[in-house]
Amino acid sequence: MYLAIIGGTGLSQIEGIEDVRHQMVSTPFGEPSGPVTIGRLQGCDVVFLPRHGYNHRIPPHQVNYRANIWALREMGVDRILAVAAVGGIHPDMGPGSLVVPDQLIDYTWGRPSTFYEGDLDSVTHVDFTYPYDETLRRAFLEAGQALDLELIDGGTYGATQGPRLETAAEIRRLQRDGCDVVGMTGMPEAVLAREAGIDYASLNVVANWAAGVRDGEVISLAEIDRTLNRSMGKVRKVLKHVLNDENRMLWRRTG
């Protein structure tokens, strides 16, 4: 079985993968974001897939989430470490912060969000009380501790439609709802992984303060790029530490 890394904005490739091969996987839901990269990283079998494509050409509302998750399952993936850029809402989650969320609220619309539709024998529901796998969350957090990097434990991810950024009023609404960070790709990716029986956790990289959080501050896309460039080195260190031979017992399935 494989562990998969889904890369987000700022993480379109993984350095250090060995024995690399690429494979395109056809699915009943169309084509995934691109060929999956298969190889070994830190001695671990890994599959890598950038959700926006290798040229970052697919906007968040047009990512074929069902094809991506289906393809990973077909490859034998049973665990996913997802990376996503977000805006910070909580005062402790400013630009450059790394957050390991434990909850989410879905504000997206019109995105195909389940495998269970069409000509079904019966209706299927999945428990989504806790959307992120706790063992994988712990692996992220313990990697941060070992590397002396501050990873924030917990928080609620608000998934918005995109591709535009939010208005200040929308962020105030998310804040009232209890959201700590805001992003555009967390759903339906997380629930599709749950339907597919794949353990899933996310590492959020705060790229900017969300709209209106800082009075009078205008969001700078150039500054977002600079923040992500500075932060992705930390993300790569965390991922490599999680995959290190000595640390795999933290998250390896025992059943």
Burial of 88 (0-12, 13-18, 19+ CB in 10 A): buried
Domain range annotation of the chain: 2-115+127-250
Reported as a pLDDT band with limits 50, 70 and 90, residue 42 is confident
Cα 240 to its chain centre, rounded Å, is 16
Q: What is the rounded average pLDDT of the residues 52-67?
A: 92
Highest mean pLDDT among 9-13, 44-48, 204-208, 249-253: 204-208
Q: Reduce the DSSP state of residue 6 to 3 states and report it.
A: strand
Reported as a pLDDT band with limits 50, 70 and 90, residue 254 is very low
For 2-115+127-250, give the CATH class: alpha beta
Reported as a pLDDT band with limits 50, 70 and 90, residue 12 is low
Considering all CA atoms of the chain, what is the largest pairwise distance in Å, rounded to the nearest integer?
54
> What is the model's pLDDT at position 22?
85
Q: What is the rounded average pLDDT of the residues 145-162?
A: 96
Taking Cα atoms as reference points, which of 9, 47, 13 lies closest to residue 198?
A: 47
Spatial distance between the Cα atoms of 243 and 41, rounded to a whole number of angstroms? 7
